Amino acid sequence: MKVGVIGAGTMGNGIAQVFAQHDHEVVLCDQSGEALERAKQTMENSLKRIYGKQGKTDQDIADTLAKISFTLDIETLSDREFVVEAVAEKMEVKLEVFRKLDAICPDEALLATNTSGLSVTEIAASTGRPDKVVGTHFFNPPPIMKLVEVVTGEETSEETVKAVREICGSIGKETIQTVDSPLFIVNRILVPMVNEAMFVYQEGLASKEDIDKAMKLGTSQPIGPLALADLIGLDTLLFVCETLLEETGDSKYRVPQILRKKVRAGHLGRKTGRGFYEYEPAKEKQAS
Ligand code: NAI
């Protein structure tokens, strides 16, 4: 299938890679040449790890990468049958991209957004084909994580959902289907759990290590909620909680004071080397 991916950042390069791994022909577009260069390098490193474990060769890596072309020009997506958008999480940026895609792509092309929480209905409404627009919420890193949440907007047709679930199946993903709503399913359940762990910590009920140990060993999660918060980024979590609270007015999404304090102090988790845990190279393993 002729697949397009727009946005070559954290998610876009992984999504392009997984399509190429499953023999789709991919065009990866970004507005930044540097992002495209980084994407190429990230994919090569990722393929080395994944193919290395499968006994595949450098030639296999080269063959997979050869299925992807890189471009700065969105017009190159004009012959694509399926396009996944993975640009920044800002509504105005996504709307502009979808208007352009709608104008240049074939009428029958399906357009998907990888948004984590913006309205699929609103994105779809910026096109003349809202029935062919859908959310495909991949998880990070896309080549490894099995799940895609398929999110329907108000106008998304059943044929689109069926086709998109099949496309996801063709790249080895499992899908679930949900209607457009704040944070969809996984993060809607995950975020309050992570928040609750922060409340337990700020109430002084247990040490951070014991809270994480409790959830890892008591519920078979691979990483404790406070270490997970550091991994996601505490600023991202704060933004998500505030958005959820605003959208739903539900106090279960209230923000723990400790989260605000850490963000104000610039302790954002792994990316700044300090959040609930400290991330000197030697200590990193211990926290997760
Ligand atoms: P990112 O910031 O790593 O990458 C975004 C890329 O889009 C950048 O390379 C940027 O140059 C490019 N871009 C921005 N505007 C563009 C335009 N008009 N045309 C072409 N390229 C453009 O972002 P990330 O983290 O990959 O997120 C992308 C989407 O995926 C967002 O909607 C985000 O909410 C969603 N998402 C992110 C996850 C994550 O763990 N990072 C997980 C699941 C979904």
The tens digit of pLDDT for each residue in 50-109 reads 999 999 999 999 999 999 999 999 999 999 999 999 999 889 999 999 999 999 999 999
Q: Which domain holds residue 85?
A: 2-179
Which of the residues are catalytic?
116, 137, 149, 187
Structure confidence by residue, pLDDT tens digits, 268-278: 999 899 999 99
283 within domain boundaries:
no
Residues 16 and 109 in one domain: yes
What does DSSP assign to residue 56?
-
Residues 233 and 106 in one domain: no
The answer to whether the beta carbons of residues 235 and 241 sit under 8 Å apart is no
- What would the mean pLDDT of 109-125 be, rounded to a whole number? 96
Q: Which of 75, 87, 188 to mutate to test the pocket of ligand 1 (most atoms within 8 A of CB)?
A: 87
State both tokens at 277: 């845990």
Residues 167 and 48 in one domain: yes
Q: How confident is the model at residue 247 (pLDDT cuts 50, 70, 90)?
A: confident
Phi and psi torsions of 7, nearest 5°: 100, 115
pTM for the whole structure: 0.91
Q: Which of 179, 209, 230 is the last residue of a domain?
A: 179
Rounded Cα gap, residues 140 and 71, in angstroms: 23
Report the candidate in 2, 4, 45, 47 with the shortest Cα–Cα distance to residue 28. 4
Residues 174 and 106 in one domain: yes
Q: Please report the beta strands in the chain, taking only residues with DSSP state E, as ranges in sequence order.
A: 2-6, 25-29, 68-71, 82-85, 110-113, 133-138, 147-152, 174-179
CATH of the domain at 269: 1.10.1040.10
86 lines ligand 1 (CB under 6 A): yes
169 within domain boundaries:
yes
Range with the poorest average pLDDT among 177-181, 185-189, 212-216, 279-283: 279-283
Residues 20 and 149 in one domain: yes
Q: Which of 138, 154, 179 is the last residue of a domain?
A: 179
Residues 136 and 192 in one domain: no
What is the pairing mode between strands 2-6 and 82-85? parallel
Structure confidence by residue, pLDDT tens digits, 212-222: 999 999 999 99
288 is known to lie in a ligand binding site? no
286 within domain boundaries:
no
State both tokens at 137: 């919420």
Residues 174 and 192 in one domain: no
83 lines ligand 1 (CB under 6 A): no
What is the number of structural domains in the chain? 2
Q: How confident is the model at residue 37 (pLDDT cuts 50, 70, 90)?
A: very high
Inter-helix orientation angle 257-264/234-248, to 10°: 130
284 has pLDDT over 70: no
State both tokens at 140: 């990070």
227 is known to lie in a ligand binding site? no
Q: Which atom of ligand 1 is nearest to the CA of 32?
A: 11
Q: How confident is the model at residue 281 (pLDDT cuts 50, 70, 90)?
A: low
The answer to whether the beta carbons of residues 158 and 121 sit under 8 Å apart is no
125 within domain boundaries:
yes
229 within domain boundaries:
yes
> Taking the CA atoms of the chain, what radius of gyration do you get in angstroms?
20
State both tokens at 124: 């779809």
CATH of the domain at 153: 3.40.50.720
Q: How confident is the model at residue 236 (pLDDT cuts 50, 70, 90)?
A: confident
Structure confidence by residue, pLDDT tens digits, 9-22: 999 999 999 999 99
Residues 199 and 170 in one domain: no
Mean pLDDT of the chain: 95
Residues 241 and 168 in one domain: no
Rounded Cα gap, residues 118 and 234, in angstroms: 19
Residue 94 Cα to ligand 1 middle (Å):
10
Q: Which of 142, 157, 179 is the last residue of a domain?
A: 179
Beta bridge partners of 177: 150
Q: Which atom of ligand 1 is nearest to the CA of 12?
A: 26
287 within domain boundaries:
no
71 within domain boundaries:
yes
- What would the mean pLDDT of 166-174 be, rounded to a whole number? 98
CB atoms within 10 A of CB 1: 14
State both tokens at 255: 């923000």
Residues 22 and 129 in one domain: yes
What pLDDT does 285 receive?
43
The answer to whether the beta carbons of residues 164 and 110 sit under 8 Å apart is yes
Chain centroid to CA 190? 14
Residues 222 and 130 in one domain: no
| Placement of tokens 């997970």 in the chain | 228
- What would the mean pLDDT of 138-163 be, rounded to a whole number? 97
Residues 140 and 223 in one domain: no
What is the pairing mode between strands 25-29 and 82-85? unpaired
Q: How confident is the model at residue 288 (pLDDT cuts 50, 70, 90)?
A: very low
93 lines ligand 1 (CB under 6 A): yes
155 has pLDDT over 80: yes
